[in-house]
Amino acid sequence: MTSNSDGIAGSPQGLFALTDRQQRRMEEVREIARTELVPLAEKGDPGSVNRPLLEAMGRHGLLQGLFPKSSSGKQSREAAAMELCILRESLASVNTEAETALALQGLGSYPILQSGSQALVEEWIPQVAAGTAVAAFALSETVAGSDAAALELQAEPDGDGWRLHGEKIWISNAPEADIYTVFARTTPGAGARGVTAFAVPAARDGVGGEHIDLVAPHPIGTVTFDAVRVEPGEVLGEIDRGFRVAMKTLDLFRPSVGAFAVGMGQAALDAAVSYTTSRKAFGGYLSDQQAVAHALANMATQLEASRLLVYAAASAYDSGASPYEITKRSAMAKLYATETAQFVIDTAVQLHGARGLVRGHLLEHLYREVRATRIYEGASEVQRTIIGRSLFRPNSSKQQ
């Protein structure tokens, strides 16, 4: 495999890795995070949107990295999955709050970028990229979590537009977002075929909501819609085809959730190696114990396998692979990387003993932070279902 400027490169020795440019990009992002973003994250209010942090990410061009431009310099409508994964893995290895802030900006605004009118793109994408507008992806409901096609929030016809009635829950950046990508039912009883996506400004009359307090402080809450008016130009994609908009976004972001998990896992592994090679016990260092060395070996091996699955899924997306192939690889990357990160962080805590559970310790933070990755954007069980179905798809073996 030969090297290129945007994809994964293979060295003469056969090493499957990022290109030199991508590796430099990762170190650049880590340095910005260490010097500029960590202090701002520490000053933020846990559980609330950190706007100074977002604005700093905008000034450093990190958020713009979510929105690639064409060779002519115009805003592209296509996403860059590998760049997204590089950004998320790099930030996660240094500061999870900065990583999450970046990811949520992308998740909430990509449906606008990919499926919105030119007017919507020009209004919102520059603000999101600058960190001056906060975006949110509003899909889940009380009775429609993993089964997103069962959502009930109603979009009733109102002249040439609609009125939204209902509530969304578990919405990241809610209720503080400035723009919501909202998925509502426009055709009752039609399942996934009766859902439409809308871009809804938070300032619109009738939009409300409240915070939800999680174990790992995170800006998340409910969004309520009390006869909220949406205009024809605020439709994303086609009427009754909003589920496609949601799935296209999730296919892009699932590998990057894996990248987030890999970044956290790498931070935990680095901490475990540092601790066990300096902690004296039983007449030597902890790392001299075969049980410890083997645990570290398993952590490193599974983490590297996760990283390669993430890169492969991102490469499939960027190379224009079939939707079937992208969905399958995205599910595999998200499943394996998040399950692995849970294992790696848990093992790192075990190797640290009680120290890893002290409030404020890196591992204590990661231990709380990693748990949600196995749930949001499709729980691990949902990913297994997607992968399993791909095995039974007609002629699937010929497409792999």
Distance between CA atoms of residues 181 and 146, nearest Å: 18
Buried b (16+ CB within 10 A) or exposed e, 71-102: eeeeeeeebbbbbbbbbbbbbbbbbbbbbbbb
* Residues 6+ positions from 158 with CB-CB distance below 8 Å: 229
> Known catalytic residue: 78?
no
Alpha helix stretches (DSSP H) within the chain:
20-32, 38-43, 51-59, 81-92, 96-115, 118-130, 242-276, 290-318, 323-352, 362-370, 380-392, 396-399
- The dihedrals phi and psi of 188, each to the nearest 5 degrees, come to -60, 145
Closest alpha carbon to 316 in 331, 336, 303, 306? 331
Exactly one of 234, 339, 369, 377 is catalytic; name it. Answer: 377
Alpha helix stretches (DSSP H) within 204-322:
242-276, 290-318
* Residues 6+ positions from 128 with CB-CB distance below 8 Å: 63, 66, 67, 105, 108, 109, 134, 135, 179
Q: Are 199 and 229 in contact (CB under 8 A)?
A: no
- In the block, which residue shows the tokens 């790392």? 287
Q: Are 58 and 128 in contact (CB under 8 A)?
A: no
Half-sphere exposure for 349 (CA within 13 Å, toward CB): 19
**Where in the sequence numbering do the catalytic residues fall?**
377
